[in-house]
Structure 1
Amino acid sequence: MNMLFLLNTIIRLKHRSHSRLWSRRKLRSAAYMLKFNFFSMRGLPWLSSTDGEEKVVLTAVELESLRSDLADLEEKEAHLKAQLEHVDEILRFARLSGYLYIRTRWKPLPGEPPPLDDTDVDDWLPRFVVLQGPCIFFYLFSTDLSPQDSTLLSDIVEIGPLPSITRDDEGTQYAFYILTSQGLRFECSSASKVQVDSWLSALQTDCKLGGSDATTAPNGACEM
Structure 2
Amino acid sequence: MKSLRLNPIVLILINIIAPSMYIFISGKYLQAFLFVFASMLLILMGRFKSLAALFIVYFGMMGIYYMTVNNEKLQFIGLFLIVLVQSVPCLALASILVRKYNSAQLLSALETIHIPRVLVIAVTITLKYIPTFKREFSYILESMRLRGISFSLKHPIKSFQYFIVPQLFRCAALAEEVTAAGFVKGIDVPVKRTSYYEERIRVSDAAVLLVFVTGLAGGFLWKRM
Q: TM-score, normalised by structure 2?
A: 0.25
Which structure carries more helix by proportion? 2
User: Greater RCO between the two (CA within 8 Å, min separation 6)?
Assistant: 2
Q: TM-score, normalised by structure 1?
A: 0.25
Larger radius of gyration: 1
